[in-house]
Amino acid sequence: MNAATMILLGGGLAVGCWVLAKIGHAVTKVLETLAAIAAVFVALWLAVKGVYLGARWLVRRPRTVATTAVVLVWSHWLGWLSLAVTVAVLGAGLGVWRWLDVASFDVWAGRRLRAWWQRWTVYAPRMPGWLRACRLTVPDDRHALVVNVNPLRRSGAVPRQRPRRDQIPRILGVRSGPSWDEVLVRLVPGQTPEDVDEAARALAVSRNVARCQVRELEPNVVSIDFQRRNLLADVVACPDVAELRQVAGDGLDLSRVWSGRTEYGTDWHQPLAGGHTLCAGATGAGKNSVMWAPLVSIGPAIRDGLCRVSGIDPKGMELAYGRDVFHRYAVTSRDALELLDELVDGMEARKRDNAQKVRTVPITRDNPLELLEFDEIGALTRYVGDRKTREAITERVALLTTQGRALGYTVRGYVQEPTKDTVPVRDLFPRRICLRVATKSHVGMVLGDHAYDRGAWANRIGESEPGVGYLFGEGIREPLRVRAAWVPDDAIKDLERLVTGPAPLAIPGPRPVLPFPQPAGAPAGGAA
């Protein structure tokens, strides 16, 4: 190879290297530009996302944001000393308000302050751990396990792992009442309200409370209610019969009769007109309170002929003590059958008189509410020796419960063993009350299959809590814990004298339908 060829070859290599260097430099510049543009876009995206998340956090917590803003502005313009003095004065004012009127304080201020405090000191930091412990999370497949399988690692060593993230239900808000905290939670995809129902007992243990109840608000939103204290621990007093003597019977609402207290501290009203009720409970559970408390409340209506009460008392003891309250009364199976026949005949006559006139017969003195109190209904529908009499009694009760609602006939039955064999017509009672029972299965028999999972733990009611039970039926989506008012023997005798005594003097003009007068010291509010 001659010198000229060597010179040409060297020159070509030099030019090629120069061209490649220029191309590499240009590519590097392009890549740097693209990287800078990507970095700008990523920064903008992170900034927008941060602003969005921050704004959403602020919007979802208006009370916390407003309080923080007021504190910062106040401390900046007026100083920390004036802020401390203002807070002290405000705290003292709230304390005096609570001391003077605890009911109004709790409605307007107490429950809001308590909800804010419970959310940020209890539920926000601890609820995620409770949900994980109760297995109320859903694995996020987008963040699956990443395993390092580096072959240079020592044989037999455990590979490094990045743990999988779990989706946790998000807390939407907290409401706090006198005895309950209601935590609103949005479920994640893959969860159902039934999943939370099944974990209600475990959630109660995690929160270290006696009861936890789960209520479905929306298909993907539930309220997990924790009972901080028991407002039904004390006995509920029945109304003073002496105060009812000047109450007119047509001033009472028979579809909303005061009967006791609910677990939320409000009054418990139950309808006597327009539906039938079955109450189940073991011996000493307080069925007599559920029976007598509403009868005391409607004493003026019984006296004025707007309600006629019939009683079937197989034991011959419970209803016999207030015999004068009842228009009809039966103890034996034969007498009970005659009483039921009389009620069925009256129902048929009322049906003929009002057919094609009205859909629901109004309660008047000509068509009073016929209320049947059937104590120990299983004694006559299951344990009567005569099969024909037993079947006849069951048939009459079935007629009254299926046809009597619109005609002004109401049946209220009480039983110790709520099995289908004992009460064949159990499903014909739309409203159910379950007091203390012996087994968990009885709760499902009375309130429904999933009532126990939703917090109706009637088998855990103590023997020292007569009248405490769970209510379920028309208009009530979740089991409601109630306590019926206790009616002493003297009150029953006073009720007898009330219903057999003279009516108060007629009041000129139309009488408005007024709410039932509540006992002294009763909190405002009501529950159907």
- pLDDT at residue 215, as a whole number: 84
Whether pLDDT at 380 is above 60: yes
Cβ burial, residue 392 (10 Å; 0-12/13-18/19+): middle
Residues 285-326 have pLDDT tens digits of 999 999 999 999 999 999 999 999 999 998 888 898 999 999
Residues 85-105 have pLDDT tens digits of 667 777 788 788 777 776 677
Whether pLDDT at 163 is above 60: no
Name every residue whose Cβ is closer than 8 Å to that of residue 519 and which is 6 or more positions away in sequence: 237, 238, 239, 240
Whether pLDDT at 211 is above 90: no
Amino acid at 86: T
Lowest mean pLDDT among 367-371, 418-422, 482-486: 418-422
- pLDDT at residue 74, as a whole number: 58
Residues 446-480 have pLDDT tens digits of 888 778 877 788 888 888 889 999 987 656 667 78
Structure tokens at 453: 């999972």
- pLDDT at residue 1, as a whole number: 58
**HSE of 56, CA atoms in CB hemisphere, 13 A:** 7
Cβ pair 405, 417 in contact under 8 A: no
pTM of the model: 0.67
Q: Where is pLDDT greater, at 263 or 338?
A: 338
Name every residue whose Cβ is closer than 8 Å to that of residue 381 and which is 6 or more positions away in sequence: 390, 393, 394, 397, 422, 423, 424, 425
- pLDDT at residue 277, as a whole number: 93
- pLDDT at residue 528, as a whole number: 36
Tell me what the mean pLDDT of segment 486-499 comes to.
93
For 213, phi then psi, to 5°, come to -125, 140
How far, in Å, are 4, 250, 260, 357, 410 from residue 302 at the CA level?
A: 133, 10, 20, 26, 14
Cβ pair 174, 119 in contact under 8 A: yes
Whether pLDDT at 371 is above 90: yes
What proportion of the chain, given as a percentage, has pLDDT over 90? 34
- pLDDT at residue 13, as a whole number: 74
Whether pLDDT at 509 is above 70: no
Lowest mean pLDDT among 114-118, 209-213, 421-425, 505-509: 505-509
Whether pLDDT at 149 is above 70: no
Whether pLDDT at 15 is above 80: no
Alpha-carbon distance of 440 to 445, in angstroms, equals: 9
* Domains of the chain: residue spans and CATH: 115-139+166-229 (3.30.980.40), 241-500 (3.40.50.300)
Cβ pair 487, 259 in contact under 8 A: no
Average confidence score pLDDT of the chain: 81
Amino acid at 233: A
